[in-house]
Structure 1
Amino acid sequence: MMNRFFETIILVGLCLVALVSCENEAIEEPAPNIVLFLVDDMGWQDTSVPFWTEKTAFNDRYHTPNMERLAKEGMKFTQAYATPVCSPTRVSLMTGMNAARHRVTNWTLKKDVIQPMEVNHPQLEFPRWNVNGMSPVAGDSLAVYAMPLPQALHDVGYFTVHAGKAHLGAIGTPGENPLNLGFDINIAGHAAGAPESYLGTENFGNGKEGKEIWAVPGLEKYHGKDIYLTEAITQEALKALDSAVTVQQPFFLYMAHYAVHTPIMGDDRFFQKYLEKGLDSIEAKYASMVEGMDKSLGDIMDFLEKKNIGENTIILFMSDNGGLSAHARGGEPHTHNKPLASGKGSMYEGGIREPMLVKWPGKTKPESVTDYQVIIEDFYPTIIEMAGIDSLQTVQKIDGESFTAVLKGEHEYAGTRPLIWHYPNEWGVTGPGIGAASTVRNGEWKLIYFHADRRIELYNIVEDIGESKNLVADNPEKARELAQLLTNRLKDMNAQMPIDKVTGEHVVYPIELF
C-alpha cells in the first residue's frame, strides 16, 4: 500500500510538472518595442564607428560614443544602402517598395508640381512621377497607395510615435500628416524635408516671413529657449514613450531626425571641441550636429535601461542617403565620403551607402559584423517579422526581403541577390554621378546607367570601393549581363523613363545599348 501511495504521489507530481511545462510553452513572449532611428543625410563615415575594413581620418574626426555603444551591443552592417535622395528612401521604408515601383523618385514638397530644377533640363523631359508622395487612400492622384508600416504595427496593438522629419507627402495631401499614416503621435513632422532653423532661440524658423513652408511645427513650448532642435524632438519623443511604458503597451518609435540636413547650424554643446580639432567653421558645425544626433541615440538607450525595457527593445539605426558633399560643406566638394566616390544625389557609393546598426536583444550577437547587402525597402518586411506579424495583407507588392535570419546569425549573403536603384529625375546640383540614372548591384559587381548621355559604367566594388576604374571595356560580357538584369527588373516594376528632348523618344533601357 505504501509503495502504491508513493507511486501515486510521483505520478501526480509528474503530471503537474508536465502541465506547468505546457502552460509555459503556451505563454507568448511579449511583443518587442521597436525604435527605428533614421538620420538625414548622414554619410557612411560621419561617425567614429568604422564601417570599412580599416579606420579612416573621418572616423577619427567624429565623436559618436553612442553609435559605438550600439555597435558593441548589436550588429554592424558594412554594406547597407538607401536611395540617393530623401523622399524615395522614406517612402520605401514605409511601404517596402523599391523606388522604381512606388515612383516617388525625387523629393516631395508642393502638390501636383515637379521640382523646379526638372522643368527646363537641357537634355531630358522627366516623367510625371508621384510628386504627392504616399497615401493611405486609394485613388489619390500622383501618389502611391500603400499600407504604411506604422499602420500595420498600430493595427496589432503598437503605440506608434513619429518624431522629427516626415517628408512623406506633399503639402495639402493625406501623406503630409503622419497621423494619417498610422502614427498615434506626431512630433514636428510635416511636408518639408528641412528645418528653417535648428535653434529654439529662432523658434525653429517660425515667424520668418516667406519661410513658413520650412518652419518646424508643433514645438511652441521650446520657442525662445536655448535648445537645439535635435534635443527638443528627443525630449518630446521620450515623454511620449513614457506614457506607453506606463500602461505596458508595446511601442514603435520612428525617430527621424532633421539632422544632419542643411542648414548647417552648429550645436553649441559640441561646436567648440571641433574648432579646437582644427576644423573650419562649417565642418566644425557639421560635426557638432553629428554628435548632437548621437547624444539623442544615447538618451533613448539610457531611457530604455532606466525603464528596464532595454532587453525587450529592438533598435535599428540607418541614414536616408549618402553624406552631403556637392555643396554647403567646408573644404573640397565631393570628398567628404572618401574613399567612397561623390555623395548625396549620386549613384556612386558615396550617395547610397549608409551606416547601419541593429540591436535585437537575445537574437543578435553583440559586436557582430556582417557584409550582407541590404537596401532600404528591406526594413519593412524585417520589422513586420520582428513584431510577430505573420499574416499581413498589403495593397502594395513588397520588394524588400527580411534580414532577420542575418540578425540571428542563420544566414550570410551568397552574392546572388540584385539590388536596384532608379532615379529618372534631377536633384539640382552637379557633381560626379549626380543626375538621372539607374543602377544594379549584384554580388561584387555594380553597373550604372546614366540617362542623359546613355553612358554605362561597370565597377567591381570589392576591389575598387572608390569606383575609380570603369571596367566596361575590360569586361563587356559582365556589363551586358548586368544591363539585362537591370532592364528586366525595371520592366517588371514598370519603371518610368525620361524622354530625350532631341529624339522625342523615351530613353532606352540599358540592354538596348548592347
Structure 2
Amino acid sequence: MKISRPKLARLLLPATLIFISTISTIYAQKKPNIIVFLVDDMGWQDTSLPFWTQKTPLNERYHTPNMERLAKDGVKFTNAYATPVCTPSRVSMLTGMNAAHHKVTNWTSPQYNVSSDNDDEQFAAASWNYTGLSPKPGIPNAIYATPYPQLLKDAGYFTIHVGKAHWASVGTPGANPYNLGFMVNIAGHAAGHPQSYFSEDYYGNKPGKNTMQSVPDLEEYYGKGTFLTEALTQEALKTLDGPIKNKQPFYLNLAHYAVHDPIQADPRFYQKYIDKGLDPQEAKYATLLEGMDKSLGDVMDYLKAKQVAQNTIIIFMSDNGGLSLAPPRGGSAHTQNLPLKAGKGSVNEGGIREPMIVKWPGVVKPGTTANQYVIIEDFFPTILEMAGIKNYKTIQELDGKSMLPILKQVNYTDNERALIWHTPNKWISKDGPGINYKSAIRKGDWKLIYHMRDGIKDLYNLKTDIGELQNKAAENPEKVKELSALLSAQLRKWDAPMPIVKSTGKPVVLPDQTGI
C-alpha cells in the first residue's frame, strides 16, 4: 500500500518527537547538575565529621549526621582553604582569582563606596577594592571580572542563588546576583549577615526596625516559626522543580547565612545542647550548625526523591574559619577551633582551613579522603570542567587550578604549588593571633607567616605541628628565605595592596625586603 507524503509525515511525527525528546534528555543528562552548599563562618572543627587524623572533643560536641552521610558518598578534603573573612572568599570563588590579585582583601560594607577597615595608629589604609566584585567596567574600587555562573548560564545551565551573596556594596552591579549570571535570586544582596534568624522578627524586616542586614524575599514565612535556615532550604528546593521537570541542568549556589552571628538559637535543637551541658551561647551556636546540617540532608533527600541524585554533584564548603572572638562566642577567645590556632580573620589555620566534601557519583570514589591542599579560587576552573565547558573566555587571569585530578585520584600530590593569603587590612579593632596586617604562604608542609607591623616571619611545619605552636624560622633560615622570595614575587606580580606606614608615607615592605 502506497502512503501519501502528508500521511507518512503524520505517522512519523510522533516517533520523530519521541526520538528528539530522547536525544535531548540524554544530552541534558550528560551535563551534571551542580550544587555548591556554602556555609558562613563554619570552622574546620564545627562538625561531628572529623577532618583530622583523630576525633576531638569538639567533634563530639556537634551533631552533623548529614555531613557524615555526604562524606560516605564522596571525598573529604582535609586541607581545603578559603580566606580569613567572607567577601574575599566569595569573590575568589566566583572569579578564580586569589584575594591578593582581585584586591578585595576584606569584607565589603553594604554602604556604597565605604571601606570596612578599622582605623590604625601605625598604618593608613591600603588601596584595596572595598566596593567588591563587578561584572561591568568602570566601577570605582571594584574588580572587573567574569563570574563563572554567567559562563554556566551561557552554556545552558539554569542558575540559582539562594542565601547570602555579599560580593559587593549596595548600588553597584556586583551586589545583585542577577548581574552575575544567576537566573533566580532569593535573599541574596549586599549584606554580610542576617539581622535576625527568626520569622517572628520578619528576618529583620519589621517596620521601623529594619536595617541593611534585613534578609529580603521571604515574606511568606513571616511569623510562622520558620527559622531562616529552613526557609532558605525550602525556597531552594522549590526553585529546582522547574529545571528538573524540564530536564535542564542546573547550578544551585545555596549559601546559608548560618552560622554567622547573631548567634541565635534554632529552637528545634536548643534543649538538646543545653542537656549536653553546653553554656547557653555555645548551645545556640551548635543549633545553627545542626540546622545547617539538616538543610544538607533535606537537599540530598530531595535529589533522591526526584531521581536526579546520581547526576548531581554536591560541593560542601565554608567561606572562612570559625569565629573565635569571645564574645560573641562562649568560652575563652581563640580556643573554638582547636587544635587549629585562632579563627575567623586570621591567616593561622583556624581562620582559613575549612571543612570540604565533594560528592560526584560515578567519578569520585565514595568514602575517600584527599590530603592534597586546595583553595577556594580552585572552584572556578573545577566547576566549569565538571560542566564540560571548554575554551571559555574571561576578563581576568585565573589563579585557581582544577581539582579534577584530585577528585579522580585522591592520592594525587603536588607539593610544589604555593598557596597565598594576604590581609593588608585592619579587620577588627584589636590584633589577635594571625589577625590584621598579615600575609602567609604554604608550599608543601611548610607555611610562612609575615607580620607587616614589625617584619617578623614565622615558619611552621604543618605536617608535625598543625597547631602552629613551634616556630621553626630560626632553625630553617633557607626555607624562610625561599618562601619569603616566593611570596614577595607573587605579591609584586599581582600588584597586591599594601598598608601605608604613616610615619614615612610609604607602603609596607615585602617579606624579601626585611631580614628579620
Distance in structure 2 (CA, Å) of the matches to 1:510 and 1:299: 47
- How far 1:208 moved relative to its partner? 5.7
Deviations 1:45-76 (A, max 9, x none): 10010000000001111000100000000000
Give, in angstroms, the shift of residue 432 of structure 1. 1.1
The 5 Å alignment of 1:34-73 reads 34-73=34-73
Q: Cα offset for 1:416?
A: 1.1
User: Does residue 440 in structure 1 map to residue 447 in structure 2?
Assistant: no
SS in 2 for 1:413: coil
Q: Is the 8 A contact 2:370 2:411 kept in 1?
A: no
Which residue in 2 is equivalent to 1:129? 128
What is the distance in 2 between the residues matched to 1:426 and 1:255?
A: 29
For residue 131 of structure 1, report the CA deviation from its aligned partner.
1.1
C-alpha offsets along residues 316-336 of structure 1, whole Å, 9 cap, x if unaligned? 000000000023101111000
Aligned to 2:389: 389
Identity value in percent? 57
Query: Is the Cα contact below 8 Å between 2:127 and 2:499 reproduced in 1?
Result: no
Q: TM-score, normalised by structure 2?
A: 0.93
How far residue 415 of structure 1 moved from its aligned partner, in angstroms, is: 1.1
Q: Aligned equivalents of 1:111 and 1:441: distance in 2?
A: 35
Residue 114 of structure 2: SS of its match in structure 1?
A: coil
- Runs of 5+ consecutive residues of structure 2 not aligned to the other structure: 1-22
Secondary structure of 1:322 counterpart: coil
Q: Residues 92-491 of structure 1: matches in 2 within 5 Å? A: 92-109=92-109, 110-115=111-116, 117=118, 120-207=119-206, 209=208, 211-327=210-326, 328-409=328-409, 412-428=412-428, 429-491=430-492
Asked whether the equivalents of residues 43 and 320 of structure 2 are also in contact (C-alpha less than 8 Å), the reply is yes
Q: CA deviation at 1:492?
A: 1.2
SS at 1:372's partner residue? Answer: coil
1:111, distance to aligned residue in structure 2 (A): 1.7
SS of the equivalent of 1:279 reads: coil
The CA deviation at 1:410 is 7.0
Q: Which amino acid aligns with 1:150?
A: P
CA gap 1:124/1:208 in 2 versus in 1, 3 angstroms: farther
Q: Distance in 2 between matches of 1:115 and 1:288?
A: 29
TM-score by length of 1: 0.93
Give the distance between the partners of 1:319 and 1:151, measured in 2 at CA: 22
User: Which residue of 1 is the match for residue 9 of structure 2?
Assistant: none
Q: Paired residues, what number?
A: 488
> Following the alignment from structure 2 to structure 1, what is the Cα–Cα distance between the partners of residues 117 and 73?
45
Compared CA separation, residues 57 and 319, structure 1 to 2 (3 A): same
1:207 deviation in Å? 2.3
Deviation digits for residues 276-333 of structure 1, max 9, x if unmatched?
Answer: 0000000000000000000000000001000000000000000000000023101111
CA distance 1:482–1:58, shift in 2 (3 Å): same
Q: Structure 1: how far apart are the matches of 2:203 and 2:187?
A: 10
State the SS of the aligned residue for 2:233: helix
CA distance in 2, matches of 1:414, 1:219: 45
The root-mean-square deviation of aligned C-alpha atoms, in Å, is 1.4
Q: 2 CA distance for matches of 1:344 and 1:141?
A: 28
| Secondary structure in structure 2 of the residue aligned to 1:412 | coil
**Is this contact kept in 1: 2:371–2:411, CA < 8 A?**
no
Give 1:271 shift.
0.8
Distance 1:433 1:189 in 2: 30
Q: What amino acid is aligned across from residue 431 of structure 1 in structure 2?
A: G
Q: Structure 1, unaligned stretches of length 5 or more?
A: 1-23
Deviation at 1:414, TM superposition (A): 2.7
Counterpart Cα distance in 2 of 1:410 and 1:43: 23
DSSP-derived class of the 1:384 partner: helix
Letter in 1 for 2:488: T
Task: Kindly state the Cα deviation for residue 128 of structure 1 after the two structures are TM-superposed.
Answer: 2.3
Q: Residue 125 of structure 1 contacts residue 501 of structure 1 at CA under 8 Å; is this kept in 2?
A: yes
For 1:387, the aligned partner's letter is A
1:332-379, Cα deviation, whole Å (9 max, x unpaired): 110000000000000100000000000010000000001010000001
Deviation string 1:412-448 (CA, Å, 9 cap, x unpaired) is 1231110011111111153211111111000000001
> Greater shift after overlay, 281-290 or 471-480?
471-480
C-alpha distance in structure 2 between counterparts of 1:410 and 1:81, whole Å:
17
